[in-house]
């Protein structure tokens, strides 16, 4: 029996027929997951906040988060091997607990992915403007709303075109993204090696970040690192090390998915952790020496640190960053489309028959991809909704000034991902307690239960750390959840889903009717 027939038989056993093309290899699958995780996008977006909050010692929070998330990747590996289906987390929740539970996981996860597309592509705008201004002598302002929307929309449309051609093209874009990420992370370290001002001992220091007077961001942690600065600095890494689960979203297009998808998940997370550590290490060791060196480096950000390099090399790495952002956005859009396709295939979304349509030429969920184009572009328009100078006073909390509606929605991207992750791991735990024994190619055996428990505890605690409302002057609220904003948005999005689910009962239309 051919491998393709084996893959198709497994799909049939789970109640589906093969509609998408199985054209992705292990490396393609890994590349999509790694491009979504994207160390360059994460570090270039959050390095200043992470190092500014936690000092050089924040680098050690990278392996801490990666190790904890590895427990999640291992659980997802079991689930992907058992249920190699498009839509990954939605399917895992549906088969482990029930249709209703799975629908909620899919709703939260899918919404978070669409918000992430807008987040990633809008995050590339400042780098695009910087490069264009340097090369052509223009004066594009990345804070201008029209400029931001125009560039973001162009990137999203470009991703849609490439994704629509076929999964193989998506894999090739992701492959190129892996090469770029490798050059952009290890290459920066090598290029900066001639400009290191510190020894390795420097990465064990905090440079006074626990006190407001010496914190380069002006945040006061009351002299506490572990219970203060680290809890905020760790979020700079928490916001990076996910996306590996997207390997499962494209399982139906991956050859030998039951074996390859779990490997791709683990490899993407581990390699992403190594690349991130190396890039951050290079940036920290190249921090200017002297009393004000660290503060100056945080104020100037990564471009300021790279300013010691020749101009042509700075431009080269800037191009690498833009490509990394684009590759990441393309991968996330592709993953989000597969979630919409999976839900619509089970008649769980409005206009499901239209959304589930697969193009004959490329065998891709083209209409689901169209959703991944239109909704993120609409999200981007929220950048024009800005609070007044004193913010908006809403019930018991203040929506802070300077945080437009797009950034508020984007703050849901990570909290929504962590909530859907938590629900998925809780679902796996419920299934185990009911007697489920993983029977896929990849299993954890006797380690399954303790690893599952650890994953649930980690995700629960970190979700609290992400959404916990705090004073607007604190590091968490100032740079991550904006006080109550992220928690309230998460509640609103879940509530909208609950209202729709209660009225339309999409779970009743799903082929699997297991109930809680």
Question: For the chain, percent helix, then strand, then coil, each to nearest 5?
Answer: 70, 0, 25
Residue 469, SS3? coil
Considering the domain boundaries, does residue 117 fall inside one?
A: yes
Separation of alpha carbons 245 and 225, rounded Å: 31
- C-alpha closest to that of 149 among 380, 439, 320, 408: 380
> At how many degrees (to 10) do helices 293-306 and 39-54 cross?
170
Q: How many domains does the chain have?
A: 1
Decide if 136 is inside a domain: no
Output the pTM of the full model.
0.95
Residue 514 forms part of a structural domain? no
The tens-digit pLDDT sequence of the chain (516 residues) is: 456 667 888 899 999 999 999 999 999 999 999 999 999 999 999 999 999 999 999 999 999 999 999 999 999 999 999 999 999 999 999 999 999 999 999 999 999 999 999 999 999 999 999 999 999 999 999 999 999 999 999 999 999 999 999 999 999 999 999 999 999 999 999 999 999 999 999 999 999 999 999 999 999 999 999 999 999 999 999 999 999 999 999 999 999 999 999 999 999 999 999 999 999 999 999 999 987 899 999 999 999 999 999 999 999 999 999 999 999 999 999 999 999 999 999 999 999 999 999 998 889 999 999 999 999 999 999 999 999 988 899 988 999 988 889 988 888 899 999 999 999 999 999 999 999 999 999 999 999 999 999 999 999 999 999 999 998 888 999 899 999 999 999 999 999 999 999 998 988 877 754 433
- Residue 513's pLDDT is 44
Range of the domain at 99: 3-123+151-391+412-468+489-509
In this structure, is residue 435 part of a structural domain?
yes
In a domain, 406, yes or no: no
Which pLDDT value is given to residue 512? 55
Phi, psi of 478, deg, nearest 5:
-70, -35
- The beta-strand segments (E) located in 136-198 are none
Q: Which residues contact 347 (CB under 8 A, 6 or more apart)?
A: 506, 509, 510
pLDDT the model gives residue 516: 38
Token pair of 504, please?
Answer: 């339309």
What was the pLDDT predicted at 6?
A: 78
Residue 397 parent element (H or E): strand 397-399
Residue 262, domain member (yes or no): yes
Give the Cα separation of 21 and 253 in Å (integer). Answer: 5
Give the DSSP H or E segment for 234.
none
Residue 132 placed within a domain: no
Long-range contacts of 440-447 (CB under 8 A, 24+ apart): 440/78, 440/80, 440/81, 440/82, 440/258, 440/262, 441/81, 441/258, 441/259, 441/262, 442/77, 442/78, 442/80, 442/81, 442/258, 442/259, 442/262, 442/263, 443/78, 443/81, 444/74, 444/75, 444/78
Nearest-angstrom CA–CA distance, 385 and 153: 17
- Give the pLDDT score at 506: 87
pLDDT digits (tens, 9 = 90+) for 388-429: 988 899 988 999 988 889 988 888 899 999 999 999 999 999
Beta bridge partners of 399: 392
| Residues with Cβ within 8 Å of residue 417, at least 6 apart in sequence | 109, 112, 116, 242
pLDDT of 131 reads 95
The CATH number for 277's domain is 1.20.1740.10
Contact 152, 122 (CB under 8 A): yes
Provide, rounded to the nearest whole percent, the portion of the chain with pLDDT above 70.
98
Under a CB-based contact definition with an 8 Å cutoff, are residues 165 and 362 in contact?
Answer: yes
3-state secondary structure of 308: coil
Q: Which of 117, 433, 410 is nearest to 246 (CA)?
A: 117
pLDDT score recorded for residue 32: 97
- How far is the CA of 29 from the CAs of 117, 149, 263, 290, 419, in angstroms? 19, 30, 9, 46, 24
Assigned domain for 166 exists = yes
């Amino acid at each position: 029996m051919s491998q393709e027939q084996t893959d198709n038989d497994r799909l049939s056993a789970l109640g589906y027929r093969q509609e998408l093309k199985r054209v992705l290899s292990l490396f393609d699958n890994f590349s999509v997951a790694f491009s979504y995780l994207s160390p360059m996008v994460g570090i270039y977006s959050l390095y200043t906040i992470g190092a500014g909050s936690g000092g050089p010692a924040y680098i050690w929070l990278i392996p801490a988060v990666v190790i904890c998330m590895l427990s999640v990747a291992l659980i997802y590996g079991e689930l992907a091997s058992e249920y190699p289906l498009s839509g990954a987390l939605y399917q895992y929740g549906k088969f482990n607990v029930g249709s209703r539970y799975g629908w909620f996981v899919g709703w939260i996860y899918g919404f978070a992915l669409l918000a992430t597309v807008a987040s990633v592509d809008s995050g590339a705008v400042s780098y695009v403007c910087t490069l264009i201004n340097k090369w052509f002598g223009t004066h594009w302002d990345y804070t201008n709303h029209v400029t931001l929307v125009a560039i973001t929309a162009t990137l999203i449309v470009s991703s849609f075109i490439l994704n629509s051609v076929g999964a193989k093209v998506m894999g090739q874009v992701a492959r190129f993204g892996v090469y770029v990420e490798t050059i952009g992370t290890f290459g920066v370290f090598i290029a900066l090696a001639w400009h290191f001002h510190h020894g390795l001992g420097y990465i064990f220091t905090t440079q006074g970040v626990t006190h407001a007077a010496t914190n380069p961001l002006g945040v006061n942690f009351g002299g506490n690192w572990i219970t203060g600065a680290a809890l905020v600095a760790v979020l700079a890494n928490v916001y990076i090390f996910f996306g590996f689960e997207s390997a499962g979203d494209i399982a139906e297009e991956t050859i030998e998915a039951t074996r390859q998808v779990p490997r791709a998940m683990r490899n993407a997370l581990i390699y992403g952790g190594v690349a991130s550590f190396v890039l951050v290490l290079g940036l920290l060791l190249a921090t200017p020496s002297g009393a004000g060196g660290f503060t100056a480096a945080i104020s100037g950000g990564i471009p300021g640190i790279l300013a010691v390099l020749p101009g042509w090399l700075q431009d080269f790495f800037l191009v690498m960053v833009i490509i990394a952002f684009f590759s990441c956005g393309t991968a996330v859009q592709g993953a989000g489309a597969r979630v919409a396709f999976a839900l619509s295939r089970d008649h769980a979304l409005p206009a499901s028959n239209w959304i589930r349509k697969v193009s004959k030429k490329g065998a891709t969920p083209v209409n689901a991809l169209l959703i991944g184009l239109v909704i993120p572009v609409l999200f981007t328009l929220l950048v024009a909704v800005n609070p007044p100078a004193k913010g908006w006073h809403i019930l018991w909390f203040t929506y802070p000034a300077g945080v437009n509606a797009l950034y508020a929605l984007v703050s849901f991207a990570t909290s929504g991902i962590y909530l859907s992750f938590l629900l998925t791991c809780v679902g796996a735990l419920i299934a185990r307690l009911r007697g489920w024994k993983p029977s896929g190619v990849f299993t954890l055996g006797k380690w399954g239960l303790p690893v599952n428990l650890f994953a649930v505890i980690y995700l629960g605690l970190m979700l609290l750390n992400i959404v916990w409302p705090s004073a607007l002057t604190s590091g968490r609220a100032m740079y991550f959840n904006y006080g109550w904003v992220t928690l309230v948005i998460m509640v609103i999005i879940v509530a909208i889903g609950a209202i729709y689910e209660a009225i339309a009962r999409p779970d009743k239309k799903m082929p699997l009717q297991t109930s809680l």
